[in-house]
Amino acid sequence: MSSISIGKTFTASALALAVSFGAHAVTDQDLLNDHKTVDKIVTYGMGYQGQRYSPMTTLNTSNVNYLTPAWAFSFGGEKQRGQESQPLIEDGVMYVTASYSRIWAVDARTGEQIWQYDARLPDGIMPCCDVVNRGAAIYGDMVYFGTLDAKLVALNKKTGKVVWIKTVADYQEGYAITAAPIVVDGKLITGVSGGEFGIVGKVEAYDAKTGDLLWTRPTVEGHMGYVYKDGKKIESGISGGEAGKTWPGDMWKSGGAATWLGGTYDPETDTLFFGTGNPAPWNSHLRPGDNLFSASRVAIDPNDGSIKWHFQTTPNDGWDYDGVNELIPFDLKENGKTIKAAATADRNGFFYVLNREDGSFIRGFPFVDTISWAEGLDSKTGRPIFKEGGRPGNPADLDGEKGETVVAYPAFLGGKNWMPMAYSPDTELFYVPSNEWSMDIWNEPVSYKKGAAYLGAGFTIKPANDDFIGVLRAMDPKTGKEVWRQNNSAPLWGGAMTTAGGLVFTGTPEGFLKAFDAKTGEELWKFNTGSGVVGTPVTWEMDGEQYVSVASGWGGAVPLWGGEVARVVRDFNQGGMVWTFKLPQDRVSAK
């Protein structure tokens, strides 16, 4: 498929809106304060740290049941699948991306379109896990997003006109960009997708104004990192270790470790946190060793791309558990001390609490009901204690085309996948959209071929229970205890948000946006959007009223890769809209 590249307005009123709105230049201070401000959302994650917490209390547990639709905006056309975006709101304008690398500017008061831009995609794009786009970035007078053919696009945020386009990687090798970029100190920073095609993951920084490449940091050991000055390439920081040190032979050259979810940023330590995906191929017997820096959280200096520290969650990953899930900085208060901590809920089923200054392991614990591949975590290092017989077998042992099959919990789509969790400093709990499923998995022989799937494994995913798959959990990072849970019949695939009003919002594939009591988990409100919600909700204040928005449109990896689970969701309707709700003025004072 291909599309026309456009940046246009459609009506006289839209032209007027483009002039009156979007005039404010977004500054570094705006980005730094995003988690504190309520009249705008200018970062993916509602703040650099990605806590997805709003300090607003207008909407609360007492009046959320009066939340009412304000407007809905359709993404239109036939491209209605996998709407995983998080909207941004600034100066009365919503910027929202959609499937097939599209982006809109919409009047946040009325839902009227201001402009639309569709990327010109070639026929040969190779997204492994649907044609999704998770969001944009704003800086200065520009808005930025990545495309499925691995480009970064900078647009004038008032008009939608192209300012510059840069190629980040070769889509014909399997690269793509699905995550929202992040801007730190004038640098536009992005990761890449494509781990199932034997690409080499990387994080790169570009000058936000010009698009010039500033530094590149590959995430497979053996590949060098570089900074670029005056047109010259200079080796930067940690080189990535010796080639072959934790990889056999030349397998590091196509080692995966894609940075496909993007990153968070901690201003206190001036550190970027990116997760890295699965090593390639899935058949772990072909690549004995830890396979650094795959399935890891990597702390990166935003100034030159050098690695400060790393923490690997699944060494020699043999289940496609990745390690890409967001690492969220937070202050851990215990034993009379405040620790600069960070937390992540891994696809492998374990929740990790780390010291974000040095990456040291504080604690880890299961957040799903069943884990079959590991006995637990080493109490000092956090390294998994592999369970005997938990790894899919080596085809060479059977002298055949297929190794011994094992049943693994969780399935490769993870205890938690891409869908971001939220953290409330009020309750000191993390709210984790998660899933309970297993898989039959076996290994097969495979060899690398540019642009071809590089798995070396087969699998079938199955529900772990008869009556539910998805679970929204409230997890205590101090004790490892599950404080409350809400089961959902279909898998959860959308992000969570929490507020100072004592609320937690998330969506379901059945089409509902739901609100829960952050302390008890009681369901307080729901609204059916007409298609599965796999986006991430946001909330903001405008004209003295509190609004909530979420993208709706079923898709993503579950219907593509879900095996027996796909039967649970096969009748769900696709869609493509962003819904916006607000609390009526006469309900604001309700207590």
Q: For residues 219 and 193, what is the distance between their CA atoms, to the nearest angstrom?
A: 12
Other Cβ atoms closer than 10 A to 484:
18
Q: Which residues contact 22 (CB under 8 A, 6 or more apart)?
A: 90, 91, 92, 93, 105, 114, 141, 157, 158
Active site (annotated) includes residue 91 = no
DSSP classification of residue 521 = -
Q: For residues 493 and 501, what is the distance between their CA atoms, to the nearest angstrom?
A: 24
Ranges of beta strands (E only) in 119-158 are: 137-139, 142-146, 151-156
Enumerate helices (H) and strands (E) in the chain, giving the number of each.
Answer: 4, 40
Q: Which residues contact 284 (CB under 8 A, 6 or more apart)?
A: 316, 317, 318, 391, 392, 443
Cβ atoms 311, 302 nearer than 8 A: no
Cβ atoms 248, 287 nearer than 8 A: yes
CA dihedral 406, 388, 325, 166 (to 10 degrees): -70
Q: For residues 137 and 95, what is the distance between their CA atoms, to the nearest angstrom?
A: 9
Q: Which residues contact 128 (CB under 8 A, 6 or more apart)?
A: 174, 193, 194, 195, 196, 197, 453
- DSSP string for 51-98: --EE---SS-TTTGGG-EEEEEEE--TT--S------EEETTEEEEEE
Cβ atoms 457, 480 nearer than 8 A: no
Distances (CA, A) of 413 to 148, 409, 438, 472, 492: 21, 10, 9, 16, 11
Other Cβ atoms closer than 10 A to 300:
28
Distances (CA, A) of 131 to 193, 302, 413: 12, 29, 17
Cβ atoms 360, 383 nearer than 8 A: no
Measured in degrees and rounded to the nearest 5, phi and psi for residue 587 equal -110, 0
Q: Which two tokens stand for residue 505?
A: 């919002």
Single-letter amino acid, residue 204: E
Per annotation, catalytic residue among 320, 322, 397, 466: 320
**Measured at the alpha carbon of residue 259, what is the angle toward residues 462 and 209, in degrees to the nearest 5?**
140
Q: For residues 428 and 498, what is the distance between their CA atoms, to the nearest angstrom?
A: 11
Q: For residues 535 and 96, what is the distance between their CA atoms, to the nearest angstrom?
A: 11
Q: Which residues contact 567 (CB under 8 A, 6 or more apart)?
A: none
Burial (Cβ within 10 Å: 0-12, 13-18, ≥19) of residue 230? exposed
Q: For residues 122 and 125, what is the distance between their CA atoms, to the nearest angstrom?
A: 6
Q: Which residues are catalytic?
A: 320
